[in-house]
Amino acid sequence: MRRAVVAFGRFWWNFLIGDTPELFVGTLLVVGAACLLRHDRTAGLTVVVALTVVFLLASTYRGCRTAIRPAPVDKPRP
Amino acid sequence: MSTTEATLALAVFLASAVEMVEALTIVLATGATRGWRSAIEGSAAGVGLLAVLVAVVGVPLVRYVPIATLRVVVGALLLVLGLSWLRQAILRASGHRAPHDEDQVYSDTVARLRDRSGHASPAAGRRDALGFVVSFKAVLLEGMEVVLIVLSLGASAHRLGLAAASAAAAVIVVGFVGVLIARQLSVIPENIVKMAVGIMLTSFGVFWVAEGMGLRWPGGDLAVPVLIAGFVVVGGIAMAWMRTLRAPPPHAVTLVDRRGIGR
């Protein structure tokens, strides 16, 4: 039972955060911005899309800078 | 079928296909090493459990959770998943990350299964616990993301049946193609499919986060294909930009390694 709970928690940790915590934080900020600007349609939609693009580019840039050599091929998870 | 439904079905189909290709590689390696009976039974058990998960979690989600709340939560999940897939595909396409090599995964799995058992495959037609467990876990682990995508896209659009049917179609198609081309799964352009799925999931994520918060998109559902087109452009720009960034010189590798960054 304990192993199952740990495995479940690990799955969600890897799924939501993993090696890209900035995407998780960015998503929270996108949701927060949408909430704050929900009464201003134009500003709300613009900010939501713009923030998403910014976080994608920033995270990809970070991945590019830290990729100092080609990563090993993904291991199978039997 | 509306534009959103068609896009939803395509997104679920492609996402399921990508994950099932990865699972199929391990199932094929298991079948070749430990016997086909256990590999097929393990895979079927994995698919069955995933289908039960969709029914058990998905139906209450659609019936009892307010649609606005569901769309915000699901939109956020899709954003995390979509941005992650898109980022990974851009890094692979721009040469900053090694591509997923199904041939290598196949060889590694075969070697590990042989090492673990220490002897050849069991007699033809006999059940093998190791083969069953490895296939079952491969399908279950790879399928969990598919379940999340089916649940999130299906529940948000109130089209759980359509999403589940698209995933089932992908399982059947990938299984059929896998049998036909056997080990040569590496011929499938996985990174392109992954990028397409990442773009679609990100677009749906942005769409539903805003909708859930009460921000209405101009054109309604037609905003989804517009968002997809926009993220195709952004993905292309990101790829071109990342290609211009060169890897650091060899001595920098040592410095970075010592600090433990980039592992």
- Are A56 and B86 inside 8 Å of each other by CB? yes
Which residue stretches of chain B are H helix?
Answer: 3-34, 36-64, 67-93, 102-117, 129-156, 160-181, 190-212, 223-244, 250-259
Q: Any idea of the CA torsion for B21, A20, B231, B66, to the nearest 10 degrees?
A: 90
Residue-level pLDDT at B170: 87
Average pLDDT, integer, range B99-107: 70
Reported confidence tier of residue B186, pLDDT bands at 50, 70, 90: low
Q: Are A41 and B213 in contact (CB under 8 A)?
A: no
Per-residue pLDDT at B250 exceeds 80 = no
- The alpha-carbon radius of gyration of chain B (Å, integer) is 20
* Tens digits of residue pLDDT in B7-21: 888 888 888 888 888
B216 to chain A: nearest residue by CA?
Answer: A41
- Do B76 and A26 count as a contact with CB atoms less than 8 A apart? no
Q: What is the pLDDT of residues B212-224, one digit of tens each?
A: 899 999 988 888 8
| pLDDT tens digit sequence for A18-73 | 888 999 999 999 999 999 998 999 999 999 999 999 999 999 999 888 865 555 55
Model confidence at B121, in pLDDT bands (50, 70, 90)?
A: low
> Is B77 a residue whose pLDDT tops 80?
yes
d(CA B145, CA B153): 12
The neighbour count for residue B42, using CB atoms within 10 Å, is: 27
- Which site among B88, B209, B211 would you substitute to test the A interface, given the most A Cβ atoms closer than 10 Å to its Cβ? B209
Comparing CB atoms, the residue among A35, A56, A72 nearest residue B83 is A56
As a whole number of Å, the CA-based R_g of chain A is 17
Chain segment B137-157, per-residue pLDDT in tens: 888 888 887 888 888 888 877
Interface test with B, best of A35, A51, A69, A75 (most B CBs within 10 A): A69
| pLDDT reading at B187 higher than 80 | no
Q: If you count residue pairs, one on A and one on B, with CB atoms under 8 Å apart, how many are there?
A: 147
pLDDT at B227: 93
Domain ranges across chain B: 3-259
High-pLDDT (> 90) share of chain B, % = 14
Structure tokens at B144: 């969990």
Predicted pLDDT at B182: 61
Which residue in chain B has the smallest CA separation from A21? B80
The token duo for B216 is 């209405």
By C-alpha distance, the chain B residue nearest A64 is B96
Q: Is the pLDDT of residue B254 over 50?
A: no
Band (pLDDT 50/70/90 cuts) for residue B57 is: confident
In angstroms, the CA B110 to CA B87 distance is 30
Give the least confident one: A49-53, B120-124, B190-194: B120-124
Burial of A1 (0-12, 13-18, 19+ CB in 10 A): exposed
Mean pLDDT of B154-172: 85
User: Which is more confidently placed, A54 or B116?
Assistant: A54
Contact B210 A34 (CB under 8 A): yes
Distance CA B252, CA B1 (A): 54
Encoded amino acid at A46, one letter: T
Nearest CB to B206; choose among A38, A52, A68: A52
Judge whether residue B66 has pLDDT over 70.
yes
Question: Which stretches of chain A sit within 8 Å of chain B by CB?
Answer: 11, 15-16, 18, 20, 23-24, 26-28, 30-31, 34-35, 37-38, 41, 44-45, 48-49, 52-53, 55-57, 59-61, 63-78
Does residue B37 carry a pLDDT above 80? yes
Rounded Cα distance between B147 and B133, Å, is: 20
Distance of CA B135 to CAs B20, B26, B39, Å? 12, 7, 5
Contacts of B241 in chain A (CB under 8 A): 57, 61
CB A24 to CB B137 under 8 A? no
The predicted pLDDT at position B251 comes to 46
Q: Is the pLDDT of residue A78 over 60?
A: no
H helices of A17-40, where? 21-36
Contact B90 A60 (CB under 8 A): yes
Q: DSSP string covering B112-178, please?
A: HHHHHH-S-PPPTT---HHHHHHHHHHHHHHHHHHHHHHHHHHHHTT-HHHHHHHHHHHHHHHHHHH
CA atoms of B96 and B242, how far apart (whole Å):
8
CA angle, B236 then B240 then B244, to 5°:
165
Q: How confident is the model at residue A76 (pLDDT cuts 50, 70, 90)?
A: low
Give the least confident one: A53-67, B169-183, B190-204: B169-183
d(CA B30, CA B21): 14
Query: Mean pLDDT over all residues of chain B?
Result: 80
Contact list in A for residue B141 (CB cut-off 8 A) is: 77
Return d(Cα B142, Cα A77) in angstroms, integer: 9
Buried-exposed string B73-108: b where 16+ CB fall within 10 A, e elsewhere: bbbbbbbbbbbbbbbbbbbbbbbbbbbbebebbbeb
